[in-house]
Structure 1
Amino acid sequence: MPLSFLVRALAIGLLLHLYVGVRIVPTLAPWSVAQIVMIVWLVASYVLIPLGMLARRAKRDDASAIAWVGLLTMGLFSSLLVLCLLRDVVLVIALTVALVAHTAVPLLWRDLSGVAVPVLAIVFTVVGFVNARRRAAIKHVDVPIDNLPDALEGFRIVQISDIHVGPTIRQKYVDAIVDAVNKLQADVVAVTGDVVDGGVEQLSSHTRPLGRLTAAHGVYLVTGNHEYYSGAHAWVDEFRRIGLNVLLNEHVVIHHGGVPVVIAGVTDYSGGHFDPAHESDPQAALEGAPADAAVRLLLAHQPRSASAAASAGYTLQLSGHTHGGQFFPWNFFVRVQQPFTAGLNKVQSLWVYTSRGTGYWGPPKRLFAPSEITLIRLVRGATRPLGKQSDHSGTDPAVRRAA
């Protein structure tokens, strides 16, 4: 990590911690012990968050414990900061209204709202932790395909994405995911990148359970940006060693009920920045594919591959990367970089499904963006409602199209 970046990060972190302290500590004045606890926690948070981030890559045995503490602290401070900002926005609005109405904002309301900020931050962090650490739920998605052959009606693809095996996600967590996937008896299993957050030497024993994944026509994997942060070439070799089919701008053709289906995969959208030979290319991945294939499936880690995939003539793209935002308010910022945050969408004639991810990155925290193991079924477009998705709730969210 460049020293200049570290200095800037520490400076920004200091300012944010001071902001929270100045805005919240005075509201705890009736409880002097609470003030002391808050000040001590803010000082500890400022130290622990960068230590936790640095420990994610360390090879020492005690690094995982340091990462756990630092990342939990990061999750709590994130909620504390957001709630503090929201409180100040509300106070500014209330003060403006009070000035216009020639009244005053009650001091009691200001103090109670200040106390509510750390209380709610703790609640959000605990709930988010439980959501992140439990095994991802099965999400059912039907994708309508025009002129789908009878043999492919109900074709089952199980997608997992963004597991982020690392300091807080280990073998037991991965084993539970693999067991759940295998029970679904998929025709194809798709692993759409960001499997790891660390090197092969550190994490190979924790990714080994992925070699147990089974499907009628195989298990296919593409690289995500975190594979490149962690040594993509070594990980590609490791994934292939344990029996996964890694697709690097290439495709395979399977036959289901005698009908050809193309399964293609591209390197991560940013792969070319790390290795020019890994420049992501949906068109190249389709070269030589049979023209009569009823379905052309593309595995691409980032949803923003969709424009090129639509032009290349794919039927369905499966992506991840966004985590659905993972926890509030980061879901609102995903669209700055990606065309979609989560769910089933369409770009021209291409269906794009974006998973919210099967694990999590950084803080063990998920809030309003639950993790998922996605069971995707291909159905005949003429006989099914468009974009039927369900979390066993019976609702059919509207399908969104890219502008």
Structure 2
Amino acid sequence: MTEAGATAPGRQRAGRPRRPRSAARRIAVLVGVLVLLGLPPWWTLFGAAGWPRPVVVGGAVAILGWLVAFPFLMLAGHRPDRRDDRAARVADTGLGVMWVLFTCSVLGALADAVLGLLDVGGAGRVVAVAVALLAAAVLAWGHHEAMRVPRVREVEVHLPRLGAGLDGTRVVVLADTHYGPIDRAAWSARVTAAVNVLDPDLVVHAGDIADGTPEQRREQSAPLGAVRARLARVYVTGNHEYGSEAQGWLDRMAELGWEALHNRHLVLERGGDRLVVAGVDDVTAESSGLAGHRTDLSGALAGADPELPVLLVAHQPKFVPQAAAAGVDLQISGHTHGGQIWPFHHLVRLDQPVLQGLSHHGERTRLYTSRGTGFWGPPFRVFAPSEISLLTLRQERDSSHRPG
């Protein structure tokens, strides 16, 4: 998810030779994570439930089989030269199922412990059945939430430097569509229709458009060409583009009629007032080694009138300190997915300053973080609904409503 100033790929800092990571260490970490993920489901569903031995052994074999197969499925399904998405679909779905089972099993184990303290006998099997039913319900609901057309989330954003002519400007935000192994071309067309109903002045795609190359995801991305906006449609790269032909995605979006804000800006005019709309490459761009790709805010704003308000599109919320230092009025980001599957949001907050929504940074800068339009990997969303964001820019604000 490398900040500006990182050492260029293939080069080392003087006096600090790079130490290669041990393959054995990486394997040990992977095994540890998989065991941690699989042990609670086995214990809650089988080990502590008092089932007959064949059931307990069968459960252990099933979970162990998945744990062994998972790394190979991920490698086969997500390698850059893949030609078939079936392995990725199995791996991604299995990961989501196991994560939900892990969470429900931990909650079940806690419930079992409480029942044990209350001296309630024979609770193990009841807890096991309850956990299985809860996990099944959560997975069914989470899959529905992931595959549906996102709800529209409307937010007013007050920008003190906004000109009167720009008051009421409608900005629709898409982010993290992640066109991928599950064919969502029809879903993409429905999202486009939902955007067009909103009659936006500006449409922003804040990155992570796909998992796969432009050619692999050509059909799924095609409906973006039908998105309508009065003033402009703009796009920036996310971190996932740098694993699947980032420059190709910039070219593909240009082919579809979108302005690729590759460390550059454009100026929009409405009602006699102007707004600078700038974009930067994702913070992982430089470490990708792709020529001409890096996060360059100075380059993006070069030549812009410093008196004009600035809307900056940067994929990751953690770029906001740089945006605030540069006096940006509004940064639009995605990347977090709102956590996507609860309680994963706790891990996201270790890496990002904001999970979702509108926040205030410094004296001037507002940050809007979208929960994302699609999903990454596991086709589930749990307590983190997807969204099509409709931001209405307003000239003034009541200080009593200032975000904390």
Query: What TM bracket, shorter-length normalisation?
Result: 0.7 to 0.9
Greater Cα offset, 104-113 or 226-235: 104-113
Q: Distance between the aligned counterparts of 2:80 and 2:163, measured in 1?
A: 51
Partner of 2:19: none
Residue 319 (structure 1) aligned with residue 333 (structure 2): yes
Residue 376 (structure 1) aligned with residue 391 (structure 2): yes
Partner of 1:9: 30
Residue 194 (structure 1) aligned with residue 208 (structure 2): yes
Q: Distance between the aligned counterparts of 1:363 and 1:52, measured in 2?
A: 13
Cα drift, residue 28 of structure 1: 4.1
Q: Distance between the aligned counterparts of 1:180 and 1:385, measured in 2?
A: 33
Residue 139 (structure 1) aligned with residue 156 (structure 2): no
- Residue from 91, 95, 100 that aligns with 1:79: 100
Cα deviation digits, residues 193-241 of structure 1 (max 9, x gap):
0001012231123212212222111100000000001121222222222
Unaligned runs of 5+ in 1: 99-103, 388-398
Aligned 8 A contact 1:248 1:266 in 2 = yes
Letter in 2 for 1:235: W
Aligned 8 A contact 2:200 2:229 in 1 = yes
Aligned 8 A contact 1:144 1:386 in 2 = no
Cα deviation digits, residues 25-82 of structure 1 (max 9, x gap):
1344457786576445424532553354232447666x33333333222211101112
Greater Cα offset, 311-320 or 236-245: 236-245
Partner of 1:355: 370
Q: Distance between the aligned counterparts of 1:211 and 1:11, measured in 2?
A: 45
Greater Cα offset, 339-348 or 14-23: 14-23
Tell me the TM-score normalized by structure 1.
Answer: 0.86
Letter in 1 for 2:346: F
Aligned 8 A contact 1:345 1:353 in 2 = yes
Partner of 1:101: none
Greater Cα offset, 342-351 or 73-82: 73-82
Cα drift, residue 258 of structure 1: 1.6
Partner of 1:386: 401
Tell me the TM-score normalized by structure 2.
Answer: 0.85
Q: Distance between the aligned counterparts of 1:123 and 1:73, measured in 2?
A: 16
Q: Distance between the aligned counterparts of 1:219 and 1:173, measured in 2?
A: 20
Alignment of 1:301-316 (within 5 A): 301-316=315-330
Alignment of 1:6-155 (within 5 A): 8-10=29-31, 12-14=33-35, 16-30=37-51, 35=56, 38-39=59-60, 41-47=62-68, 49-54=70-75, 55-57=77-79, 63-89=84-110, 98=117, 105-155=119-169
Aligned 8 A contact 2:204 2:233 in 1 = yes
How many residues are matched?
Answer: 379
Cα drift, residue 21 of structure 1: 1.8
Partner of 2:294: 279
Letter in 2 for 1:126: A
- Residue from 215, 233, 243 that aligns with 1:219: 233
Greater Cα offset, 215-224 or 273-282: 273-282
1:307/1:41 Cα in 2 relative to 1: closer, same or farther (>3 Å)? same
Cα drift, residue 173 of structure 1: 1.8
What secondary structure is seen at the aligned counterpart in 2 of 1:317?
strand
- Residue from 329, 346, 349 that aligns with 1:335: 349
Greater Cα offset, 170-179 or 160-169: 170-179
Q: Distance between the aligned counterparts of 2:401 and 2:183, measured in 1?
A: 36
Greater Cα offset, 369-378 or 5-14: 5-14
Cα drift, residue 175 of structure 1: 1.2
Cα drift, residue 17 of structure 1: 2.4
1:38/1:346 Cα in 2 relative to 1: closer, same or farther (>3 Å)? same
Q: Distance between the aligned counterparts of 1:15 and 1:146, measured in 2?
A: 50
1:155/1:255 Cα in 2 relative to 1: closer, same or farther (>3 Å)? same
Q: Distance between the aligned counterparts of 1:192 and 1:313, measured in 2?
A: 20
Cα deviation digits, residues 152-208 of structure 1 (max 9, x gap):
111000000000001014311211111111121111000000001012231123212
Unaligned runs of 5+ in 2: 1-21
Alignment of 1:242-321 (within 5 A): 242-275=256-289, 277-293=292-308, 295-321=309-335
1:6/1:184 Cα in 2 relative to 1: closer, same or farther (>3 Å)? farther
Cα deviation digits, residues 130-149 of structure 1 (max 9, x gap):
10000111110100122533
Aligned 8 A contact 2:112 2:123 in 1 = no
Greater Cα offset, 270-279 or 352-361: 270-279
Letter in 1 for 2:180: G
Greater Cα offset, 277-286 or 85-94: 85-94
Partner of 2:12: none
What secondary structure is seen at the aligned counterpart in 2 of 1:321?
coil
Q: Distance between the aligned counterparts of 1:187 and 1:384, measured in 2?
A: 27
